[in-house]
Amino acid sequence: MKKKSIIYHGSKNIIRNPVFGAGNPFNDYGLGFYCTHDIELASEWACSEETGGFANKYELDWDSLSIMNLSGADYNVLNWLAILLNNRIFRVSNDIASTGKKFLLERFLPDTSKYDVLIGYRADDSYFSFANAFINNAISLAQLEKALYLGDLGEQTMIKTEAAFSNLHFLDYYTVERDIYYPKKIARDKAARVAYQTESELKQITDAIYLMDILRERWKNDDLRLRRNIS
């Protein structure tokens, strides 16, 4: 039996035929078509401060597709971060950040080339600011990991290969009102920032692990400390 699921793409346009190879190559996971299983998230992502948009609905046939789930047990937060570093533009403000970026790409960047679909956290403004702070040695590994669990910012599903695009079928679209969903988008982002700030203020970080410590100790991808920063 074929495995199928419903996913949504928020946009200012109705997109009946997503095009392989189109889009922005500097998105979180590179060039691809970014979706979510949550219609509420897609509706929020469709809105800008000026306008509303559309939540496009698709059926994805997962049969025969290879999936990389960065939120799963096989991967850690530094794998997610390395993929961001490989695709997004980071503010590198010191030598530690520059050295750290190179080190994380060498040690922790997963090979995504053999996968049709990537699933993982979405680095919107708040998540990206946390990742940028870690790279610049301003927050600890535990704080970065905790941030990914706060604010209910959701996961994204990125359709990556021609095979995946061919298994994606447009079903419908829903009009998204800016007056309803843009405030929800802002509130969700604010909740993530407030929860993160509260958490970081409560934690005693004198013995926390920072990027500088990871560099000094030459961590590897299988280091057990990557599995126990979140309780």
> What is the spatial distance between Cα 10 and Cα 57, in angstroms, rounded to a whole number?
9
| Structural domain boundaries, residue 26 | 4-227
pLDDT in tens, 16-58: 999 998 888 888 899 999 999 999 999 999 999 999 999 999 9
> What is the spatial distance between Cα 213 and Cα 224, in angstroms, rounded to a whole number?
15
Domain count, the chain: 1
Q: Are 28 and 122 in contact (CB under 8 A)?
A: yes
What DSSP element (H or E) covers 106?
A: helix 95-108
* Residue 43: HSE in the Cβ half-sphere, 13 Å Cα cutoff: 16
Does the structure show a pLDDT above 70 at 226?
Answer: yes
Q: What is the pTM of this model?
A: 0.88
pLDDT in tens, 170-216: 999 999 999 999 999 888 888 777 776 776 665 555 678 899 999 99
What's the alpha-carbon Rg for the chain, to the nearest Å?
18
Q: Are 10 and 42 in contact (CB under 8 A)?
A: yes
Decide: residue 26, CB within 10 A, 0-12 exposed, 13-18 middle, 19+ buried. exposed
* Residue 139: HSE in the Cβ half-sphere, 13 Å Cα cutoff: 21
pLDDT in tens, 106-137: 999 999 999 999 998 887 776 777 888 888 88
Q: Are 117 and 164 in contact (CB under 8 A)?
A: yes
- Nearest CA to 49 out of 171, 196, 178, 228 is that of 178
Contacts of residue 171, Cβ cutoff 8 Å, sequence gap at least 6: 6, 57, 58, 59
pLDDT in tens, 71-112: 888 899 999 999 999 998 777 777 888 899 999 999 999 999
